[in-house]
Structure 1
Amino acid sequence: MGLLDSEQTAFFDSFGFVVVRGFFTPEQSGRLFREVVESLTGQYPQVCREPEPAARTGAPVDGVTSYFLPLMNPVTTPVSCALVNASPLRDIAEQLLGADALVKPPKGTYLSNASPWHQDTAEPHLRAVKCVVYRDELCAADGTLQFLPGSHRGDLAERLAGYREEMAVDGEFHELGEERRWPGFVPSLGPRDVVVFDPHIWHGSVHGRARFSWTTSFVAVPEGPEERAAARRYIAQFLGQDFVYDQETYPYYDPRWSGRDAPSFAGRMRELGVL
């Protein structure tokens, strides 16, 4: 029996996301975000100095004030590693995928900006779910994720790609323009909650303040060459975005994680060519 009930799985299948309330205990959430915050502030001292943006100012947002770190070090980020190795979170992902899962490395993230409406991927042959946890209670005015329910597949996803191009804002990204043009559904999220969504769904983050999050993706073990190619591209997506950080201290796949005591699915990832 899966961890999600039939109503939750039906909600995910129909709308492309589901919020799992109370997934973490306060102690578990605290340990996870100690890892996230200590890693990010240690690597990026400017995170401690970033001003907290005021919500709903209407001022243009640069769209780039964000910091990311892979958290696959089993010594310094053991809680993060445990969540992707073997945990109820992995069980939920595999229940929704209906398949064994590979993992896209978890990341600690600091955001103090908005995000335009987008899909994480439009790969038709990719089967994956993405998980996001925030350190603090967030609502619409705080920059929590918003979704367009049901936009993860079919004609609607394709029509929205055309709408995105047609409604593109010239010059600087503007939050109020994104809010006016996209009618998002905004789930309130807290540090004990996990939102799990199909990376094909259209989503964004409008308005907001400084916020820490933890994210990871689980990818169904691919079948056939097209799924294998899509899985490789999605898992390696982060590496092509030119983030500047100490890659020796924070490798995308830490050799200590993928070595002798690696979880069983690591062998599948070697076969796929991502380790």
Structure 2
Amino acid sequence: MSLHEVFRDCATRRSAALIGYLPAGFPTVPDSVELFRAMVRGDGDTPGCDVVEIGIPYSDPVMDGPTIQAASGEALRNGFRVRQLFDIVSAVAETGAAPVVMTYWNPVHRYGPDAFARDLAAAGGLGVITPDLVPDEADEWLAAARQHRLDRIFLVAPSSTERRVAMTAGAGSGFLYAASVMGVTGARDSVSGSARELVRRTRAHTELPVGVGLGVRTAGHAAEVAEFADGVIVGSAFIDRAGQDGAAGVAEFAAELGRGVGKSSTPAP
């Protein structure tokens, strides 16, 4: 299933897509596979995530807040290597959810953009979110992603000019990631008031779905964002729940968020 189909099916069900993030290999590779599966499974009544962001842990993050930094550091200390990413992607693809990778550019550059795109596509990955790569500096990646039919998912922010939003929308595919606040990632007490306006501005330039991230940590936040966005992105709050309650807590939290974005119950077989 493509990202286009995922968002289309969610819209048909009148729900926003639930997009969950965890770092690959957190706290270990086997544990992370179980956490991702729980994120998709939900609680048996309400399903969880439609799209799964699999983060590549990075030793020098520029956008990640303390929660993701700590989880990524734990994964790296426990021996995570980029080559293990593709087995995790395959495990997520087997759940029926749509796996995408979230990564800074340097790991892709070191692996080799074409080789990375090739191996990700072979594992069942659908696209890559590149938070520190802007479209006008992404020719090598755009070529590799197109060659291997991967979606190119770029970020827009409240500070983005109309020209920048239009350029980003034109280069992207799959969906656009709207960073609802300026600053690093992390759960917040409320959703930024700039999120709705950013989605409105972005939709003026594209028909791509728009997902909102940075700050969502409760089912109430998810419901609020689902009123105006096509996708609701949750990261740090999943890490917190995993640390507190393991896979069972992640599954329960995914179901809570699922109900928040408009999922009612597990679809009939």
Q: Same fold (TM over 0.5)?
A: no
TM-score normalized by the length of structure 2 = 0.27
Tell me which structure has the larger Cα radius of gyration. 1
Give the number of the structure whose residues are more often helix, by fraction: 2
Of structures 1 and 2, the one with the larger relative CO (CA 8 A, separation 6+) is: 1
